[in-house]
Structure 1
Amino acid sequence: MNTWPLRLTPGCDLRAALAEAVRLQLPTGSAFVLSGIGSLEDARLRLAGAEAATCLAGPVELLTLAGTVSPQGLHLHASVADAQGRVLGGHLLPGNVVRTTAELLLAWSPEWALGCAPDAQTGFTELQIQDRR
């Protein structure tokens, strides 16, 4: 397994910039996000079981970020804290703009390719793992 530290800069959309960096820099086009910290202008999350986005007015601290990136999409979970220290977590949606920095650690392996496809059992798009050995 290989690791790759990545810093995203102010003004970029966290999801879009992460997807583009993985697409351009990693040979499999996929990675696991092991950790992520930083700050966001505002937070856009989908909470457990919810259909709609929840927006937390910023600035907010990005406390954790973890998940998967594949050519077919991203599945990221995050926790964020507001100025009073209240913490909220859920699925990271598009529209999370980096405020000062987003510092990520990614892991990837040339032996494994990640993807996502509809899963009949769950009704959601789920992780698919391809062994390339």
Structure 2
Amino acid sequence: MNVRGIVLTMLGVAALAVGCRSSQAAATAPSLIGTSWRAEEIDGRGVPERPESTLAFEDARRITGHTACDRYFGGLELGEGTIRLKPAGTTRIACPPAVMDQESRLLAAWAPPPPSASREASFCCSTRADACACP
């Protein structure tokens, strides 16, 4: 994955994080610290329990996770209702085709459209299965 791909992926992670809500009051930036999220559905299709695609807010300055095959990591700056991502990186290993497919679907879902394109995207994160509905 090239640097542009990493940046686009991390922008997608930011969109995912901003769209997350729990069953409690609306999530504020500090409440994300120490939480982790696991994808149960990507692009309208369920994902196997293993390997997981995850997003974790390690602390107020760092996110980490798994795409299914690779790990990613990045800098983070939390503000009131905002998330700003800093330079990011990822491992680059080969995995079985089904795992690579899951990773590709996740990265495609997170990638923002080109500036000239228009695309609606939604992400839903929840600590309860019934806390929000995703279109």
After TM superposition, is the score higher than 0.5? no
The structure where helix makes up a greater share of residues is: 2
Report the TM-score, using the length of structure 1 for normalisation: 0.32
Report the TM-score, using the length of structure 2 for normalisation: 0.31
